[in-house]
Every structure is written in C-alpha cells, then in structure tokens.
C-alpha cells in the first residue's frame, strides 16, 4: 500500500505529531458542515474528534493503521465516537451521494491519486454538500515549516477549480498564516483554503 510504512513509522510515538486540537480553518468553518462527514487522510484523529464533539457523525480514512488507532484512543479519551477505516486513497471508493461534507486537511496527494479520487468525491457528496480543504500551497516549497517537498503534491486554487469542476467555490484563497499544529506543522506557512458546494 502506498507510503503506509512511512506514515506508520512516523506515528509510532506516544506524542500526537500534529497535536490533538482541530485545524483552525476547519474549526472556524465548522458551522457550514453537515454530516455524515468524510475526513480524508485523517491521521491521528484531531479533526474527526473535533467534528464528533460538535455532534457530527464522521468517517476518518487514512492509510496508517497506527494513526487511526491513535485517533480511536483520542476519541475515547474525549468521550466521542468516530468511525475509521484504513484505506489507500489511490483505491478508495466512497459511497455515492452519501456525505453531507468532505474535509481534506493537509491531505497532500500526488496528482495521479487526486485525478482518480476527486471525481469520486464530487459524486460522494450529497446535493448541497460541502467540500472543505486546507493544504500547503506551491509557495510552501521554499519554506521549512512543514509539508511535502514535491510540487505535484502542493495545491493552488487553480488546481482545485480544475480538479473539482462540479463544485462551486464559496471561498478560494492562497494565504500566509502562522500554523501551530504539534511538531509536524509549525511556523509561518503558505496555504490554500478552499470551501466549495455541490449544486443541489
Ligand atoms: C500531514 S498528515 C495530516 C493528517 C491529518 N489530516 C491532520 O491534519 O492532522 C498526512 C496524512 O495523509 C495520510 N496519507 C498519505 N498518503 C495516503 C494515501 N495514499 N491514502 C490514505 N492516506 C494517506 C498519512 O497517513 C497522513 O496521516
């Protein structure tokens, strides 16, 4: 399975690499989200657990079994229930017309995977469903504050508009912001923030 070993090794520590608090862009816009929520590349669970504490049902998928075990521990410690599934997003088949929202936080994927996955995401959203993404932008390549060192995995608003053509953007921007998410993501960073709706 694609880079599963790398991520399992990274997550094999008691510490939560990206912290246990939600991504701030997700938290700021959580009121827009409806369940069930699909969280792509959920990792150690901070975002799924946050959404569950807001009363949303969440399925967090990730290629790392170790990460998702930590996600379940975090959910238990916060007294919430989340669903998790070990999947390779290169082969993932989400249910059609099923999710009220799909979130993608730091889910940096090669274009070869995005080109298969994103059409399925468009189909998996219910009408009026929301797609919310924050990812490092291509400008992050010059910085040493986190993210992949491969421009193909970094995002731009243009790539998102092109790769998710049937979703209508509500917010689409590339900004610099201070990120403080555990040891994994820390410092001034260049990010893309994107929220789009599937037409009813
Ligand atoms: C930077 S971490 C972000 C984790 C989480 N979204 C967060 O914000 O805390 C990237 C995640 O992508 C997952 N990932 C990478 N490639 C994947 C793939 N092909 N299929 C599923 N998950 C993948 C990794 O296991 C890792 O948990």
How do residues 21-68 score in pLDDT, each as one tens digit? 999 999 999 999 999 999 999 999 999 999 999 999 999 999 999 999
**Residue 49 φ/ψ region, left for φ over 0, alpha for ψ in the -120 to 50 degree band, beta for the rest:** alpha
Chain segment 65-118, per-residue pLDDT in tens: 999 999 999 999 999 999 999 999 999 999 999 999 999 999 999 999 999 999
Question: Could you give the number of structural domains in the chain?
Answer: 1
Quick one: angle between helices 65-78 and 46-53, nearest 10? 30
The answer to which of 34-38, 125-129, 152-156, 183-187 has the lowest mean pLDDT is: 183-187
pTM here?
Answer: 0.97
Provide the pLDDT for residue 186. Answer: 77
Pocket around ligand 1: residues whose beta carbon is below 6 Å from it? 2-3, 7, 18, 23, 41-43, 46-47, 62-64, 67, 87-90, 105-107, 113
What are phi and psi for residue 150, nearest 5 degrees?
Answer: -140, 110
Ligand 1 atom showing the smallest separation from residue 92 Cα: 20
Ligand 1 atom showing the smallest separation from residue 43 Cα: 27
Contact, 140 vs 190, CB < 8 A?
yes
% residues pLDDT > 90 (the chain): 92
Instruction: Please give the distance, rounded to the nearest whole angstrom, from the Cα atom of residue 63 to the centre of ligand 1.
Output: 7
Parent domain of 39: 4-198
Alpha-carbon distances, residue 140 vs 69, 97, 143 (angstroms): 30, 34, 5
Looking at residue 63, which CATH number applies to its domain?
A: 3.40.50.150
* Ligand 1 site-directed mutation target among 44, 46, 62, most atoms within 8 Å of CB: 62
pLDDT-derived band at 183 (thresholds 50, 70, 90) equals confident
The average pLDDT across 124-150 equals 95
Residue nearest to atom 11 of ligand 1 (CA): 41
Provide the pLDDT for residue 153. Answer: 97
Provide the pLDDT for residue 184. Answer: 66
Q: Which of 26, 36, 61 is nearest to 129 (CA)?
A: 36
Provide the pLDDT for residue 179. Answer: 85
Q: Which of 99, 87, 101, 6 is nearest to 41 (CA)?
A: 87
């Amino acid at each position: 399975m694609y880079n599963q070993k790398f991520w399992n090794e990274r997550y094999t520590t008691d510490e939560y690499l990206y912290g246990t608090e939600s991504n701030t862009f997700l938290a700021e816009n959580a009121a827009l989200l409806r369940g069930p929520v699909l969280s792509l590349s959920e990792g150690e669970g901070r975002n799924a657990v946050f959404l569950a504490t807001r009363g949303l049902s969440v399925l967090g998928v990730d290629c790392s079994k170790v990460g998702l075990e930590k996600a379940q521990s975090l959910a238990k410690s916060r007294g919430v229930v989340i669903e998790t599934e070990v999947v390779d997003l290169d082969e993932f088949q989400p249910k059609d017309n099923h999710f009220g929202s799909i979130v993608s936080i730091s889910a940096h994927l090669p274009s070869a995977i995005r080109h298969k996955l994103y059409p399925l995401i468009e189909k998996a959203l219910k009408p009026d469903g929301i797609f919310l993404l924050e990812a490092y932008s291509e400008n992050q390549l010059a910085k040493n504050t986190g993210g992949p060192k491969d421009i193909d995995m970094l995002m731009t608003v243009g790539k998102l508009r092109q790769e998710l053509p049937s979703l209508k953007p509500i917010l689409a921007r590339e900004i610099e912001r201070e990120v403080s998410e555990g040891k994994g993501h820390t410092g001034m960073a260049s990010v893309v923030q994107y929220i789009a709706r599937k037409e009813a």
